[in-house]
Amino acid sequence: MTDLVEPRPVSTEVDEKDLPPLRPPSADNGLAGVLRRRYLLKLLVRREVISRYQGSLLGLMWSYINPLSQFFIYYFIMGTIFRLHEGIPNFAIHIFSAIVIVHFFAETFGAGTRSIVSNRALVVKMAMPREMFPVATMLVSLYHVGPQLVILLVATTISGWTPDLYGMACLVVAILMIMILGTGLALLFSAANVFFRDVGSSIAIINNVIRFGVPMIYSYEMVATRFGRFEHYYLWNPIADAVLLFQRAFWTGSTDRPTVMPDNLLLWGIGMVGVSLVVLAIGQLVFSRLENKIPERL
Amino acid sequence: MAESIRVEHATKSFTKRYQRTIKQVTVAKLRGHKTIETFNAIDDVSFSVQQGESIGLMGLNGSGKSTLLKMINGVMRPDQGTILTRGRIAGLIATGAGFHKQLSGRENLILNAAILGMSEKETMRKFDSIVDFAGLEDKLDTQVGHYSSGQNARLGFAIAIHVDSDIFLADEVLAVGDKPFKKKCLQRMEEVRDSGRTLFYVSHAAGSVRRMCNRVLVLRDGKLVFDGDVDAGIKFLNYDDEPENVEDRDAEEELGADI
Ligand SMILES: Nc1ncnc2c1ncn2[C@@H]1O[C@H](COP(=O)(O)OP(=O)(O)O)[C@@H](O)[C@H]1O
Ligand SMILES: [Mg+2]
């Protein structure tokens, strides 16, 4: 019982220079504060992994059922009705590699946007860097990417995939890009969602639009031939780049038929990581501006 | 002597009413109502606290006590002015701690301790002692949503008091606890005070303030209207002359009427 209140020198005797400095109590916030408090981050991630599907029969399986059901819908409906099986070699892998990375983005963005409101109980009472919540949701989504990658690896290996160094670099850049971009957007939107809950509701629409703005059910070849010299505007969409990078990593190596990929794809990817960093910086800036009003509005 | 808390011209304003939908805003505009009305919950408050002081913060409901504590522990930032603090801060604000209703007491304990800055080792070391203090051994795996408000406060207080903080904030913690628990809390807070840590204690019970504190601050409508000696502060609030019977009063003051 008595080990709690450890004996300390009585205050009148302490020298000011031996003490921690006087500073604003919320000084430790921001993404830097999140990185400094990794134990807390670990706890939040673990809790979220456990509780995301708490009380559901299939539990974590839902993380795979969602992308898989999407996969089958696109594969059969789009592939059969629009005859894309013929136009795009190894159409299944073309779709699935896109779904994995798009799903990662959609989860990070969607759950991240809701994260502040759904952690209301902690946000209004406890002092901590609130960036913790969007970052934790991103890491949870990243955690779910793992097994999907395994499914993808098995599927590509069966269809005779040969991995290459350039492709693996593409994979890393794509994941990095979505981690940064997703966190940046989640910061921006999670703070906005506190003031207008409409923001949270509009995420579903945005995520839907994104599905069609990336080469998932159509190929980049179609974009290149139909857009002509405007082709590179398409590449200004970072999610499209991430999808292409993923397809370069898994899909192009899994077929012997010729595949069309943009020139300098990896460079585009690295450039978009830079753009994502800018988005993250803006997200952080806006978040810390709005943060002041967040606890009282919840 | 070292300064522990410095508050300079702190002001915090809240919005009284929000029109959230476009329809509501339009209707209010057409009727000539203001769409946003603000007021200062904390209004140009300045004071300084030396380390080791124990402050009784008093005032009527809605006078801004919890808001002031929220700014001191960093949950909120002042709109104007500055607040500086030294060292780790722990405590309980507005009766309950920040708990997740769906999580069990055990999970909430670990999470809450981490938020307050305890390391994994420290939490494990103090775990039994916290549970013991809260007296919730058999409820540990029940989800916190099913706790009574008293049990909720017990767990929150038990965690907060186990943090090696330099500043301890106690906001009406004793309002919902039962008598034995109040006694235990007061005793523990006295230990905190005697160990030279800064104590900030919000209470309406004159007796416990008298017992715990060596200085009183009084807020009224967000303004600091009294800063000084404990007895003078209690007299300032006229809390003294309520209970008629002197013997009754002594018992009442110590623990009771802490609403
Ligand atoms: N989030 C909020 N939005 C608007 N008004 C608030 C908010 N929080 C507190 N208030 C108001 O600020 C005033 C001070 O509240 P509080 O600090 O909780 O008072 P106390 O703790 O002294 O009873 C009250 O009038 C209360 O209604
Ligand atoms: Mg209060």
Distance in angstroms (rounded) separating the CA atoms of residues A108 and A183: 7
Q: What percent of chain B has pLDDT over 70?
A: 88
Place of tokens 């002015």: B81
- Point out the residue among A9, A19, A39 whose CB comes nearest to the CB of B87: A19
Q: Tell how strand B80-86 and strand A22-23 pair up.
A: antiparallel
Among B33, B34, B29, B36, which residue's Cα sits nearest to residue B13? B36
**Considering the domain boundaries, does residue A19 fall inside one?**
no
DSSP, residue by residue, A71-131: HHIIIIIIIIITTHHHHSTTHHHHHHHHHHHHHHHHHHHHHHHHHHHHTHHHHTT--S-TT
In angstroms, the CA A91 to CA A110 distance is 27
Interchain CB distance below 8 Å, A126 and B84? no
Closest partner residue to A25 among B85, B93, B119, by Cβ?
A: B85
Residue A50 lies in a domain: yes
Sign of the alpha-carbon torsion through B129, B130, B131, B133? positive
Count of alpha carbons within 13 angstroms of residue A196, beta-carbon side? 10
Binary contact (B98, A126; C-beta < 8 A): yes
Q: Quick: pLDDT tens for B108-148.
A: 999 999 999 999 999 999 999 999 999 999 989 999 989 98
pLDDT, position B258: 44
Nearest CA in chain B to A26: B74
Residue-averaged pLDDT of chain B: 85
Condensed to tens digits (0 to 9), the pLDDT of residues A38-67 reads: 999 999 999 888 776 666 777 777 777 878
What pLDDT is stored for residue B96 in this prediction?
A: 66
Which residues, judged by CB distance below 6 Å to any ligand atom, belong to the binding site of ligand 1? A 296; B 14, 41, 59, 61-67
Asked if B219 and B69 touch (Cβ cutoff 8 Å), the reply is no
Whether residue A21 lies inside any domain: the answer is no
Task: Tell me how far the alpha carbon of residue B67 lies from the centroid of ligand 1, in angstroms.
Answer: 6
Dist. CA A26 → ligand 1 center (Å): 20
d(CA A202, CA A50): 26
- Cβ contacts (< 8 Å) between B120 and chain A: which residues? 39
**Distance between Cα B64 and ligand 1 center (Å):** 6
Q: Taking the CA of residue B123 as centre, how many other CA atoms within 13 Å lie in the half-sphere pointing to its CB?
A: 19
What range defines the domain where residue A192 resides? 28-54+65-297
Residue A213, H or E segment: helix A198-213
For residue B104, the cross-strand partners are B143
List the alpha helices (DSSP H) in chain B: 22-30, 65-73, 105-115, 120-134, 149-161, 179-194, 206-212, 230-237, 246-255
Domain B51-248 has CATH 3.40.50.300: yes
Q: What is the pLDDT of residues A181-208, one digit of tens each?
A: 999 999 999 999 998 888 888 888 888 8
CB A99 within 8 A of CB A69: no
Tell me B224's DSSP state. E
* Position A152 in a domain: yes
- Whether the ipTM is more than 0.90: the answer is no
A133 token code pair: 């919540």
In a domain, residue A98? The reply is: yes
Q: What would the pLDDT profile of A111-165 be if each residue is shown by its tens digit?
A: 999 999 989 888 988 889 999 999 999 999 999 898 889 888 988 998 888 889 9
Mean pLDDT (chain A) is 86
Residue A95 phi, psi (nearest 5): -70, -50
Atom of ligand 1 nearest to the CA of A295: 1
What's the pLDDT at A190? 94
Question: What is the rounded CA–CA span in Å between residue A19 and residue B51?
Answer: 11
Instruction: Answer whether A39 sits within 8 Å of B2, measured CB to CB.
Output: no
| Min Cα separation A179/chain B (Å) | 24
Question: How does residue A6 score in pLDDT terms, banded at 50, 70 and 90?
Answer: very low
Angle at A225 between CA A220 and CA A229, to 5 degrees: 100
In B191-230, the residues whose Cβ lies within 8 Å of chain A are 191-192, 195-197
* Banded model confidence at residue A17, pLDDT cuts 50, 70, 90: low
Q: Which two tokens stand for residue A79?
A: 């592939």
Pocket test for ligand 1, best of B66, B75, B200 (most atoms within 8 A of CB): B66
Residue A148 included in any domain: yes
Residue A214, token pair as written in the block? 């990336």
**What is the tens place of the pLDDT at every residue in A85-106?**
777 888 889 999 999 999 999 9
Amino acid at the residue B111:
L
How far, in Å, CA of B237 to CA of A254, rounded?
80
Say whether pLDDT at A12 is over 60.
no
Domain count along chain A: 1
Where are the extended beta strands (E) located within chain A? 22-23
Which chain A residues are Cβ-neighbours of B112 within 8 angstroms? 126
Q: Which residue has the higher pLDDT, B2 or A109?
A: A109
**What distance in Å separates residue B7's CA from the closest CA in chain A?**
10
pLDDT at position A92, please? 87
